Amino acid sequence: MTIPSNSAETSTSAAASRDVTAVVVVAAGSGERLGYGMPKAKVPLAGEAILTHALRGVAAAGIASQICVALPRGDVQLRELCDAFTAEIGAELGDMAPHVTFVDGGSTRSDSVRSALNALRDGTRYVLVHDAARALAPEAVFHRVAAALASGGKAVIPALPVVDTVKTVTRTEGEEASIAPELVTGTAPREQLRAVQTPQGFELSTLLQAHEAAAGFDDAQSAAVTDDAMLVEMLGVPVHAVRGASQSLKITTPLDLILAEGLLEGPLGMRFIEG
Ligand code: C5P
């Protein structure tokens, strides 16, 4: 892990922000689509668990004084992995090491986020919510999100322009179903579309309010919530977008795992290159 040289170079305001900033890492998903028969966070990527890569990336960014990890309920191995990570950063960073805790995740991603938010220390002002599945998110993205929060944003997400043309569809019925299973209903204007990633940063009080509002959602509404920014949008709070990175791909399918391995083991050391 490359540790940020915080002592002389970090400004007083960045250090003050770090003291009141937490990163929540959600790692409680089943990872069924990856097909390994184990939680995705445990799946090996270039010899180490996906979660280990994700946690190292968070620590290397140096923007937070605490990290709270949502793990699959009762998973002993992942708890041990978090303990090993705590020892690793303690040895490397000493007093500057972020405080690491973990909580049991829930049955949906939002439930996992809520559990972790409730476990943050008093005095936390900002939180970045990060998918363990985006294990190779570069430090630069954490910095862009944290900087926009420090500039007054209540919600900041990393995003990339979309390269594909995106259409809306509906399932075909009756005679049309014999032609094809879906019918196109429209084409979204591509220049306005963005593919959204994590870490997503928030003023903690705003995100807590957004999650409180979502706690009463029925199953269909809950299933429709695919990121935290969506909940904040529902409150009418502005959500700002900074540049994401292609390396922040969400490892979801076996092909994603091959791509991530290629990024890590390629000649360029991709984590430290801006996307
Ligand atoms: O399922 P999806 O790919 O959207 O998951 C995104 C992230 O949310 C993953 O890192 C996964 O571990 C996490 N997650 C969670 N709790 C769940 C479902 C997903 O922490 N119940």
Q: What is the mean pLDDT of the chain?
A: 92
> Which atom of ligand 1 sits closest to the CA of residue 54?
10
Share above pLDDT 90 across residues of the chain, in percent, rounded to a whole number? 82
Whose alpha carbon is nearest atom 5 of ligand 1? 29
Question: Beta strand 155-161 with 126-131: parallel, antiparallel or unpaired?
Answer: unpaired
Q: Which residues line ligand 1 (CB under 6 A)?
A: 26-29, 40-41, 70, 105-109, 112, 131-133, 250, 252
Cα 7 to middle of ligand 1, angstroms: 35
pLDDT at 115 (0 to 100)? 97
Average pLDDT over residues 20-29: 97
Whose alpha carbon is nearest atom 3 of ligand 1? 252
Give 246-275 as a DSSP string: GGG----SHHHHHHHHHHHHSTT-GGGS--
231 Ramachandran zone, left/alpha/beta (phi>0; psi -120 to 50): alpha
Angle 155-156-159 (CA atoms, 0-180°, nearest 5)? 140
Task: Give the confidence band of 6 by pLDDT, cuts at 50, 70, 90.
Answer: very low
Task: Please state, as a whole number, how many other Cβ atoms lie within 10 Å of the Cβ of residue 113.
Answer: 27
Indicate the Cα dihedral angle 116, 119, 124, 128, nearest 10°. Answer: -10
Cα 180 to middle of ligand 1, angstroms: 32
pLDDT score of 172 more than 60: yes
Is the pLDDT higher at 240 or at 5? 240
Q: Sketch out the chain's domains with CATH numbers.
A: 12-162+194-270 (3.90.550.10)
pLDDT score of 73 more than 50: yes
Pocket probe mutation, ligand 1, options 33, 111, 131, max atoms within 8 Å of Cβ: 131
Is the pLDDT higher at 201 or at 175? 201
Task: Give the confidence band of 270 by pLDDT, cuts at 50, 70, 90.
Answer: low
Tens of pLDDT, residues 55-70: 999 999 999 999 999 9
pLDDT score of 8 more than 70: no
Whether the full predicted model's pTM is greater than 0.85, yes or no, is yes
Tens of pLDDT, residues 142-162: 999 999 999 999 999 999 999
10 Å CB burial of residue 123 (0-12, 13-18, 19+) is exposed
Cα 214 to middle of ligand 1, angstroms: 17
Task: Give the confidence band of 15 by pLDDT, cuts at 50, 70, 90.
Answer: confident
Tens of pLDDT, residues 189-206: 999 999 999 999 999 999
- The answer to whether residues 78 and 117 touch, using CB atoms and an 8 Å cutoff, is no
